[in-house]
A and B are shown apart, each in its own frame.
Chain A
Amino acid sequence: MPQWIRACATDDVDEEDLIRFDHGGATYAIYHSPEGDFFATAGLCTHENVHLCDGLVMGHLIECPKHNGQFDYRTGEARRAPVCVNLRTFPVKVEGADVFIEVP
């Protein structure tokens, strides 16, 4: 049953950056886009199990710290080898100063 959970405060994530958020045995990545919007994806790269939180956000792309694979974090689309499998994304809402994500 999907549920909304608080992931972080809006000012926990710098603009054009991401943080790691762990919940219920799963790991997520929460992004703050250059336009000020928030997004959430699975926290591990689909190429190998590497945490994306150490990667680099460039515009709407997240680059994985291990082999520089890239995803569009808004859609999860794999954009640069060696990643071939899209990243799972999760709905996000902002209420006041809090960021919530909907997890399964």
Chain B
Amino acid sequence: MARRDYSLLGPDGARAVETGLAAAEWYHTDVPRKVMKELMQRSDQPAIRDTILLYGCMIGFASAGIALWGSWWCVPFWLAYGVLYGSASDSRWHECGHGTAFKTAWMNNAVYEIASFMIMRNSATWRWSHARHHTDTYIVGRDPEIAIMRPPAFVKLIGSFFGIPEVIDFFPRMIRNALSGPTAEERSFVPQSEWGKVQRVALVYLAIYAATVGLALWMQSILPLMVIGLPRLYGAWHHVMTGLLQHGGLADNVIDHRLNSRTVLMNPISRFIYWNMNYHVEHHMFPMVPYHALPRLHETIKHDLPSPNRSIPEAFAEMWPALRRQLAHEDFFLRRDLPPGAKPYREDFHRAALGEMPDALPAE
């Protein structure tokens, strides 16, 4: 395959539309309707409990960080606050964006807006980019949320653990959005009726950051920025660590989530921060299932999925060498075995759409 062009207005995206790879019908494991209906049921209770716990911990850690400011004792509190601000906000943005976390719509919307601000994503733009990510997951030139492009840019990936490329991208974009609405690329997936909202959201963000910077200047201290803004840098590492595992090293340009997404079993703290998005194949196959039902969905369909990685380190040990290999062989990807009795990968779908498709190279 020729070098990938990830631009949403480029030739790869156009080719995906032409061949029917874009907006295609994806593989789903068969689940009886009665079981699926039960799994899809919404409830406010788990998300209210988790949200009280999240915001309660954030207030507690930030208060301790402020109270101990000036001594080294404040460091662990800021690190803990940072992870909740700069990483848990990613999963709250995600789940509430789907509208599945809470049963009550306004609760989803309120947590979505707060989380979008914290994770530095324009809440109006990103609702649409994520819809595209689900339609065309890891379809080159169509999916605006491909975290690891090929060949992998390792310096940028490592910078992402500290939020650096995202923050560098966010501020000029916010100012551009505030001045003139969405960019040309954003207009390719945000409907015109929402362009005004993109601009209004950017103006609100701009006002909050301006006030925070103003307060910091007035106080002659970075303390206000430790609470708002900087935790997106010093607390980003957890959501990047878990986020890279979602699709890293796996196939692109396929229409079977078992080939391009990864489920990783992980510890309960990471699962709280990540809101169960470690069940990522399951989430992509059935985005209607709320986060709190994903472990049950996993049990229901695991007979048809590649075995999950058993821990974060094990998943990195699988992914990292594959990424290194993609430096030299852009077409390399990991093709995990399916358990006996699973439906075979529907490679005929995407082969037909692409015309040809390289086989996975053998692992090193």
Q: How far is the CB of B56 from chain A (nearest CB, A)?
A: 28
* Bound form: Cα–Cα A26–B132 in Å: 26
* Bound form: Cα–Cα A66–B41 in Å: 16
Q: Which chain A residues lie closer than 8 Å to B23 at the CB level?
A: 48-49
Could you give, for residues 6-37 of chain A, a 1 whenever the CB lies within 8 Å of some chain B CB and a 0 otherwise?
Answer: 00000000000100000000000000000000
Could you give, for residues 192-228 of chain B, a 1 whenever the CB lies within 8 Å of some chain A CB and a 0 otherwise?
Answer: 0110000000000000000000000000000000000
Interface class of chain B by DSSP:
helix
Q: How far is the CB of A55 from chain B (nearest CB, A)?
A: 7
Q: Which chain A residues lie closer than 8 Å to B40 at the CB level?
A: 56
Among B36, B99, B194, which residue has its beta carbon within 8 angstroms of that of A80?
Answer: B99
For A61, the closest partner residue in chain B by CB is B105
Among A47, A48, A56, which residue has its beta carbon within 8 angstroms of that of B288?
Answer: A56
Interface class of chain A by DSSP:
loop
* Bound form: Cα–Cα A54–B36 in Å: 9
B262 at the interface (CB under 8 A from A): no
Q: How far is the CB of A20 from chain B (nearest CB, A)?
A: 11
* Bound form: Cα–Cα A58–B37 in Å: 11
Q: List 27 A-B contacts (CB under 8 A).
A: A17-B37, A48-B23, A48-B135, A55-B288, A56-B41, A56-B42, A58-B42, A58-B103, A63-B99, A65-B286, A65-B287, A65-B288, A66-B287, A67-B98, A67-B131, A67-B287, A68-B100, A68-B287, A70-B99, A80-B99, A80-B105, A81-B131, A82-B127, A82-B128, A82-B131, A82-B191, A84-B191
Say yes or no: B127 contacts A68, CB within 8 Å. no
Size of the A side of the interface (Cβ < 8 Å), in residues, is 18
B134 at the interface (CB under 8 A from A): yes
Give the B-binding residues of A (Cβ under 8 A): 17, 47-49, 54-56, 58, 63, 65-68, 70, 80-82, 84
For B194, the closest partner residue in chain A by CB is A81
Could you give, for residues 130-170 of chain B, a 1 whenever the CB lies within 8 Å of some chain A CB and a 0 otherwise?
Answer: 01001100000000000000000000000000000000000
For B42, the closest partner residue in chain A by CB is A58
Among A17, A63, A67, which residue has its beta carbon within 8 angstroms of that of B135?
Answer: A67
Give the A-binding residues of B (Cβ under 8 A): 23, 36-37, 40-42, 98-100, 103, 105, 127-128, 131, 134-135, 191, 193-194, 286-288
Q: Which chain B residues lie closer than 8 Å to A56 at the CB level?
A: 37, 40-42, 288
Say yes or no: A66 contacts B135, CB within 8 Å. yes
For A53, the closest partner residue in chain B by CB is B33
Q: How far is the CB of A35 from chain B (nearest CB, A)?
A: 19
Q: Which chain A residues lie closer than 8 Å to B287 at the CB level?
A: 65-68
Among B103, B105, B127, B134, which residue has its beta carbon within 8 angstroms of that of A66?
Answer: B134
Q: Which chain B residues lie closer than 8 Å to A66 at the CB level?
A: 134-135, 287
> Considering the complex of A and B, which 10 residue pairs feature the smallest CB-CB distances, nearest first?
A67-B131, A82-B131, A56-B40, A68-B99, A68-B98, A65-B288, A48-B23, A56-B288, A81-B127, A84-B191
Given contacts A67-B135, A82-B127, 13 further A-B contacts (CB under 8 A): A48-B23, A48-B135, A55-B288, A56-B37, A56-B41, A56-B42, A63-B99, A66-B135, A67-B131, A68-B100, A81-B128, A81-B194, A84-B191
